[in-house]
């Protein structure tokens, strides 16, 4: 279930009419683990059931993931590819960042259970400066103001990735036209709108909020800019949030 912890009116982006957007394509991963600056590796589950292990020597997985997941645990709803951001590669294994609590959790997966691809895009969010920057490798392709979490519900710092892209049912809502759900969770809220208080990056319905600390933890940005990014960023794109 996905219910991003943003609030401010307008309901949740998982309300009726919301639909996940197919991810942008990315290039096959290089055979070498040495990557050009700014490039990351995405792992997309291709096995019927992929186990996540504490380490390669573990006898049993601590959890499993299928090739897709559902936004509302409702089989009638569209599914989203299950992707992870790769943090380390070893022969036969990959260590991936997990979209679970606590933030920053990771685990090992069999390399044969996932399809690896390289991704030149990444995002940096400077919470103190209320600024977001999107990069293609080392070149900035967008920089602009954002609204971030209020003092009581701060945006959690750390490394995350884009897990789902939603087209909102009402572009005039607080979520704007699009919302990226991240692998991050609020440290201040345990639930939000029936979900686990996931953090997102999305548009807005009040440009005057940009540059302020007013959300429940999500990152609100310019509507035109997020629309542009949806045409480029694949799921699994790294998002570094700095305090």
Render pLDDT for 57-98 as a digit per residue (tens, 0 to 9). Answer: 999 999 999 999 988 777 777 899 999 999 999 999 999 999
Half-sphere exposure (CA, 13 Å, Cβ side) for 89?
22
Q: How many residues does the chain have?
A: 243
Runs of H (alpha helix) within 162-241: 223-230
pLDDT of residue 31: 47
Q: By the 8 A CB rule, do 231 and 42 touch?
A: no
Which candidate in 122, 185, 202, 216 is catalytic?
A: 202
Q: Would you list the DSSP string of 17-56?
A: T-EEPPPPP-EEPPSSS---TT-EEEEEE-SSSEEEBSST
pLDDT tens digit sequence for 169-178: 999 999 999 9
Closest by CA position to 234, among listed 108, 84, 103, 18? 84
Rounded distance between C-alpha atoms, residue 114 and residue 126, angstroms? 32
**Catalytic status, residue 130:** no
Q: By the 8 A CB rule, do 163 and 149 touch?
A: no
Closest by CA position to 218, among listed 32, 48, 173? 173
Stretch 219-223: mean pLDDT, rounded?
Answer: 98
Lowest-pLDDT range of 19-23, 58-62, 94-98, 135-139: 19-23
Average pLDDT of the chain?
91
Looking at the chain, the whole-number percentage of residues with pLDDT higher than 70 is 87
Beta bridge partners of 109: 94
Q: Is residue 2 pLDDT above 70, yes or no?
A: no
Strands 158-167 and 178-185: antiparallel
**Catalytic status, residue 218:** yes
């Amino acid at each position: 279930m996905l219910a991003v912890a943003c609030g401010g009116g307008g309901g949740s982006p998982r309300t009726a009419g919301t639909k996940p957007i197919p991810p942008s394509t990315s290039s096959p991963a290089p055979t070498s683990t040495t990557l050009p600056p700014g490039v990351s590796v995405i792992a997309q589950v291709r096995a019927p059931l992929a186990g996540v292990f504490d380490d390669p020597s573990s006898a049993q997985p601590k959890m499993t993931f299928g090739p897709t997941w559902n936004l509302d645990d409702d089989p009638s709803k569209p599914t989203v590819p299950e992707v992870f951001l790769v943090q380390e590669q070893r022969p036969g294994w990959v260590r991936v960042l997990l979209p679970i609590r606590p933030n920053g959790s990771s685990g090992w997966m069999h390399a044969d259970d996932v399809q690896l691809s390289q991704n030149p895009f990444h995002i940096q969010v400077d919470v103190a400066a209320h600024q977001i920057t999107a990069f293609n490798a080392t070149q900035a392709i967008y920089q602009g103001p954002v609204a971030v979490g209020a003092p009581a519900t701060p945006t959690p710092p750390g490394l995350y990735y884009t897990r789902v892209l939603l087209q909102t049912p009402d572009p005039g809502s607080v979520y704007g036209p699009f919302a990226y759900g991240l692998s991050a969770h609020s440290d201040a809220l345990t639930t939000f709108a029936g979900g686990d208080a996931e953090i997102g990056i999305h548009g807005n319905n009040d440009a005057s909020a940009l540059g302020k600390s007013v959300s429940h933890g999500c990152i609100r940005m310019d509507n035109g800019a997020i629309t542009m990014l949806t045409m480029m960023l694949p799921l699994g794109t790294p998002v570094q949030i700095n305090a």
